[in-house]
C-alpha cells in the first residue's frame, strides 16, 4: 500500500504540474496518471489501495464541499436572488433530462440507468469553477452585477443537489423497482440535510467562540463531524432521507456566518488538505477506467456529452430570464457553468462498484466528461471573461 500511495502522490503531482505548464488543468494529468498506473495498463497499484478507493474519494468530496460552504457568503446569494436559486438546480435538471433522452439510444441503457448517468455527469465542478470565480472577484470582473457570485453560489449547491438525486436513482436502479415513496426521499434529504448541517455549524461555532484552540484542531473536529453526518446518511433507509453531503456544506456555511474570520482561516487549512485529496481523487478514478470499453464506445459517449451540454446551456439561459445581464454576460454564464470534474471523479465509479449493468458506461462517460469539459471550460473562462464581462472601475486601478 505504501508504494502505491507514493506512486499516486509523486506521479500524480509530477504529471499534473506538467499539464499546468502547458496551460491545461492539472487534474487531467492526474487522471492520465491513474489510467497508466491502474490495472488496465501497468497494474502498479495494490489491491489494498483500490479496495478503499471509494472511501478515499468520499473524503476528498467532503473536503471540497466543506471548503465551498466556508466560502459561500449567503449575503451574496440573497443579493443575486432568484437567478442564484435557479442556478442551483435548473441547469443540472436540464442536463439530466438531456441524458435520459439521449443515452438509451446512443448507449443502449435503460431510462433508469440513464437517470443514474445523468446525475453523475450533470454536476458542475467546484475544483475548476470556484478558483476561477474567486479570481474574477479579486480582479473585479462582473462584480457590479454579482456574476462570479452567482456562478459560485450555484456551483456550490448544484453539486449537492445532484448527489442527492444520484443516491435516489441508484437505489431505484439497484432494487429494480420504483415506488413513488422513493421520491419523498429527495425533498426530505435536502431539508433535513440543510437543517442538520446548520445546527451542527451553530454548535461548533459557539464551541470555537468559547474554547480557544488551534485552527488545526478545529479542522479535525469539523472533519470528524462531517464523517458522522455522511455515515448517518448511509444508515437512514426508507422514505425519510438525509443528505450528509448537503449537511457538510451547510455546516461550513453556518460557521462562516457566525464567525467569518475563523471560517477564512479554516478554509485556508482545507485548501492545503485539498492539495493531497485532489491528487488521490483523480488518480484513483483514472485507475478505475476500463480502456477497452472506452475505446469501443468513445464516439457515442462524446456525442452524448455534447448533446447533454446543449440542454445544460438552455437551462442556464432559462435561469437568467428577466435579469439585468446583457447577451455577452449570459453567454459567459453558459460557458462558465460547463466544467465538470470533482463530483464525476467522486461518484462516477460507484455504479460499477455496486454491480449495476450500466457501471462501465457511467464511469466512462464521467471520465470523458472531465477530459472534455474541464479543459474546455477553464480555457473559455480565461479567454472570454475580459471580452464578455465589464470590470469594476473601482478595481481597475
Residues forming a β-bridge with 141: 391
Residue 111's alpha-carbon distances to 103, 105, 358, in angstroms, are 8, 10, 11
The three-state (H, E, C) secondary structure of 49-104, written as one string: HHHCHHHHHHHHHHHHHHHHHHHCCHHHHHHHCHHHHHHCCHHHHHHHHHHHHHHH
* Radius of gyration of the CA atoms of the chain, in A: 20
What was the pLDDT predicted at 397?
43
pLDDT of residue 302: 94
Residue ranges of the chain with pLDDT lower than 50?
A: 396-397
Q: How far is the C-alpha of 264 from the C-alpha of 254, rounded, in Å?
A: 13
Say how many C-beta atoms besides its own lie within 10 A of residue 97's C-beta: 18
Cβ proximity of 164 and 123 under 8 Å: no
Is residue 396 a contact partner of residue 140, using CB atoms and an 8 Å limit?
yes
pTM: 0.81
User: How many helical (H) and strand (E) elements, i.e. helices and strands, does the chain have?
Assistant: 19, 0
**Whole-angstrom distance, CA of residue 140 vs CA of residue 137:** 5
Q: Quote the pLDDT of residue 119.
A: 93
Residue 64 to residue 228: CA distance in whole angstroms: 17
Amino acid at each position: 500500500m505504501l508504494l502505491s500511495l507514493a506512486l499516486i502522490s509523486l506521479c500524480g503531482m509530477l504529471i499534473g504540474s506538467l499539464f499546468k505548464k502547458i496551460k491545461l488543468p492539472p487534474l487531467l494529468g492526474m487522471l492520465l496518471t491513474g489510467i497508466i498506473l491502474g490495472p488496465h495498463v501497468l497494474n502498479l497499484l495494490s489491491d489494498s489501495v483500490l479496495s478503499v478507493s471509494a472511501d478515499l474519494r468520499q473524503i476528498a468530496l467532503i473536503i471540497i464541499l466543506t471548503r465551498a460552504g466556508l466560502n459561500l457568503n449567503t449575503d451574496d446569494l440573497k443579493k443575486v436572488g432568484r437567478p442564484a436559486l435557479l442556478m442551483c438546480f435548473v441547469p443540472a435538471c436540464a442536463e439530466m433530462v438531456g441524458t435520459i433522452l439521449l443515452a438509451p439510444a446512443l448507449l443502449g441503457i435503460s431510462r433508469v440507468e440513464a437517470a443514474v448517468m445523468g446525475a453523475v455527469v450533470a454536476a458542475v465542478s467546484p475544483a475548476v469553477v470556484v478558483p476561477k470565480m474567486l479570481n474574477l472577484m479579486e480582479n473585479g470582473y462582473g462584480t457590479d452585477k454579482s456574476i462570479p457570485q452567482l456562478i459560485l453560489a450555484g456551483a456550490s449547491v448544484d453539486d449537492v443537489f445532484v448527489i442527492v438525486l444520484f443516491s435516489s436513482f441508484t437505489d431505484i436502479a439497484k432494487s429494480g423497482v420504483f415506488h413513488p415513496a422513493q421520491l419523498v426521499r429527495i425533498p426530505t434529504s435536502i431539508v433535513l440535510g440543510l437543517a442538520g448541517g446548520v445546527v451542527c455549524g451553530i454548535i461548533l461555532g459557539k464551541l470555537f467562540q468559547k474554547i480557544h484552540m488551534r485552527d488545526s484542531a478545529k479542522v479535525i473536529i469539523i472533519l470528524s463531524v462531517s464523517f458522522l453526518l455522511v455515515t448517518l446518511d448511509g444508515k437512514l433507509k426508507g422514505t425519510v432521507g438525509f443528505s450528509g453531503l448537503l449537511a457538510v456544506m451547510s455546516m461550513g456555511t453556518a460557521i462562516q456566518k457566525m464567525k467569518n474570520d475563523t471560517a477564512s482561516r479554516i478554509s485556508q487549512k482545507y485548501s492545503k488538505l485539498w492539495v493531497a485529496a485532489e491528487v488521490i481523487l483523480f488518480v484513483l478514478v483514472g485507475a478505475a477506467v476500463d480502456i477497452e470499453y472506452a475505446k469501443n464506445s468513445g464516439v457515442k459517449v462524446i456525442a452524448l456529452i455534447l448533446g447533454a451540454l446543449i440542454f445544460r446551456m438552455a437551462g442556464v439561459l432559462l435561469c437568467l430570464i428577466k435579469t439585468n445581464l446583457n447577451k455577452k454576460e449570459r453567454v459567459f454564464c453558459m460557458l462558465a457553468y460547463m466544467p465538470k470534474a470533482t463530483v464525476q471523479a467522486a461518484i462516477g465509479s460507484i455504479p460499477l462498484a455496486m454491480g449495476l449493468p450500466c457501471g462501465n458506461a457511467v464511469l466512462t462517460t464521467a471520465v470523458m466528461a472531465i477530459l472534455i469539459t474541464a479543459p474546455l471550460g477553464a480555457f473559455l473562462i480565461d479567454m472570454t471573461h475580459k471580452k464578455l464581462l465589464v470590470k469594476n472601475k473601482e478595481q481597475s486601478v
